[in-house]
Structure 1
Amino acid sequence: MRPFRYTRPDSPQAAIEAFAAAGAGARYIAGGTTLYDLMKLSIESPPHLIDVTAIRGLDAIETGGERLRFGAMAPMSAVATDRTVLRDYPVLAESLSKAASQQLRNMATVGGNLFQRTRCLYFRNGAGGTSAGTTYPCNKREPGAGCAAIDGLDRGQAVLGQSASCTAVSPGDWPVALVALDAHVEILGATGTRSLPVADLYRLPGSTPHLEFTLAPGEIVTAIVVPKTRAGRRSTYHKIRDRESYAFALASAAVAIDMDGDVVRQARIALGGVATRPWRAAAAEAALAGQRLTAESALAAGRAALTGATPGRHNRFKIDLAARTVADALMIAAQRTAA
């Protein structure tokens, strides 16, 4: 661990000012469940950490009115067990409860979770690991170094949204559910406040995969806002992984559907585990609109969700797996009551 400076401001504005004073390379830290790991691996070496956990009021959970509003510092465990969220938006609760162990959910925050970085083997010091004396090129770690995952061990890599510079999967569960529900984030920066769709937080890798998020330097997410929808009760987050506990998704689907009998009025579908950012499946949504929901139409929608998928050497199975994950999620959601 390299030495670093540490500041603990007591207000959002003080945090912005501390960041500006700290200079290049400063990082905000909340739960720290990702950043500390990356610091231990020497993937990130921020010279200054600005701890926002002392800022009061950023952990509020509001479920009244026409929206859900989660303060960025709200623990994942608190949002996952909120009664209104559990009853009316199971897709949100499940995306959090399936994301990590209880201990991590108690520490990690819903705002910090949005900025979790990839679990790509090569990004995290290579498939051999530093203990084996082996490192591999990674454009996320070192721009221009190359991507060892391309033509390498790519079983867990993306089949959607990848580029010639990077195929790393976006690892989050919570962001996938938020994208499906058209959530926004409230952002504070040196120039004031703004709102941004969660989907627009994430960049495609293109030729600059080290630029992962769209926040300007010093900006901080203060809250996550989810519009209420009647599709919320008929929703689920369905996650397929190598082992049932504490594993990242090979494929996942966040689904919310509004139905008239067995006919789909509107479907909201987003994919995880298969793309370089949380992936909204607009083609799948369009395929279902006005259609009876059956096992066949659900699978057709799942296949539409993977339109344009391009597999590597070892991850072709993800295309069919993800299609079937979407189909299963739709059928699970349809069985839930909308009352």
Structure 2
Amino acid sequence: MTQNSPARPRAAASFAPPRRRRRRATSGSARLAALLVSPTLLVLTVVVLYPTIVALKDSLFGTPGLDPKTGFVRDTDPFVGAENYTAIFGDAADRFWNAFWNTTFLTFTTVALETVIGVAMALIMHRAFQGRALVRASILVPWAIPTAVSGLLWRWIFNSDGIANTLTGQHVLWTTEGFHAQVAVIIADVWKTAPFIGLLVLAGLQVINKEVYEAARMDGASPLRQFWHITLPLVKPALMVAVLFRTLDALRMFDLPYILIGAQKTSVETLSMLAQDEAANVRFGPAAAYAVILFLYVFLIALAFVRLLGANVVGDDESGPKRGRWLPRRRTEVAA
């Protein structure tokens, strides 16, 4: 016992330097990571945080008008507190809720259709066949066209004597009020942005090991079972990120319905169009209030999407898809 007792402090001392070295390495990696991320954080602060704070501040001020105390026109915007928000849910409640439901309906309808069509596009672009490069280029052309140009193009197609009425044999006024105006916006938006989802899903398909499909074919799995048990689980991270980005983008929809249908159209007026209309009429306080509400709506949708649907934009976690018969296991599982 007396011979072993002095060995303990020497053993403890021998292990102390590696811990200090690991601690220094960790702190050095943290400083390097902070240095590399700082430009991105600076850009986000300038582009996102500062405009949000300014919009929140402007939403607390009203429009210049006659001062009831002096009878003169005020040079500065009066401070009104939360009156702009109470007016949105009070006097302007009908127009606000109409724009809110239009935004929600157009968002979820277009994103659902774009997801189905985008996955189909990705599967087509992923297959090896002659002329695949031409097919990929033609599918991605709509995404490369600016939205304003796309809106003008579809406005010409949905004209009263345009191609749409010629093909259907009907005389529908697509660019006027009604459900057909919403259908026109949905068709134009799906044609424009479905290739975006297809492009991200294609990137996810290209990292799947072909040996997984070979093992499934040897076991006699049909193409439908391969798609359901292999393709969808492995491509889910890329698909969820694509759907999340498209949902957030569609919630801010403005230019396409504005150009295709027009301003102040009840059937397609969105929250972004409502805020722009207030700003165009020099009512910057109410416009900022609409912008703040839209920001909160987008933030809540993004939070619910990540928490409930499992859209992991950081990396792999334990809440991923359940591993099926042909899915590859992690290295730790294989070692175990």
Per the TM superposition, whether the score is higher than 0.5 is no
Structure with greater Cα Rg: 2
Determine which structure has the larger strand proportion and give its number: 1
TM-score w.r.t. length of structure 2: 0.25
Structure with bigger RCO (C-alpha 8 Å, 6+ apart):
2
Q: Specify which structure has the higher proportion of helix.
A: 2
